[in-house]
Structure 1
Amino acid sequence: PQTPYFNFFVGYALGKIRAVPDMVWLIRAYWGEMVERGASSFWEAFDCTSPPGKLPDKMWSLCHAWSAGPGFLLPTYVLGVAPAEPAWKTVSFRPALAGLDYAEGTIPTPLGAIEVKLRNGRKPRIKLPKGMAIIKGPS
């Protein structure tokens, strides 16, 4: 079966080429299906094409760190926040709601937390810690 580790790289590639709606679809289809089948953490391996209600025959780990890809992908490509220089002294801000009605989150950095609120049809809001610069890109 495909692994969340592999699907992270698929999602990362989609984010890099700004195919963020496709990346969100992948997260919903793959990791979302895992949750639909009862996962309370992300499994090491999962075949989302297996029949509904069926868990994988061989389950290595039911809580695996390499499966946490959405924790990087969503803040980076939906909220649109990424470091533009070392130690987060400058950040780039390029949000993409990707068909979502809203998204919000807090990104911890060495300089303090960045807060982002996105609402469909409204101007994106970002709050930076003191001393942090921003480069805004196209949405």
Structure 2
Amino acid sequence: MIGHLNLILRLTIWFLLTADLSPANIIIGVSVALLLPGRQKAAAALKDWLHVLGEILVAVPQAYKEAFEIMLRPHKAEDVTMERVKPRRTPGLIFLDIFLITFTPKTIVLKYHERGWYEVHWVRRRKKT
């Protein structure tokens, strides 16, 4: 089941990058998705995938909310923090975690450190002193 989710993730990325649903592009996308090597160092649980997909559904309204906040009340303070990668993450789940962080307007992942950390840039409101 997890292999199917990785295939679907690869195809989704392919179609988002190419923006073409022609039969030839579908054949090429399926071929590329199947030919890419799958590094399965750790088995991902189905519940981890479902949890991340639920977080994506929550992130969409959050992104709109943050976009309006930035437009209505300027955010002039910036921070760079290190966030720990959740345990037992496969490369597909790490990609989705980075996508979730970067999807919202106030945050972006600057770098993924192989030792299990994300370097995250935050835009915040300046605190009144």
Structure with more relative contact order (C-alpha pairs < 8 Å, separation 6 or more): 2
Question: Which structure has the greater CA radius of gyration?
Answer: 2
- Decide: shared fold, TM above 0.5: no
Q: TM-score, normalised by structure 2?
A: 0.31
Q: Which has the higher helix share?
A: 2
Q: Could you state the TM-score of these two structures normalised by the residue count of structure 1?
A: 0.30
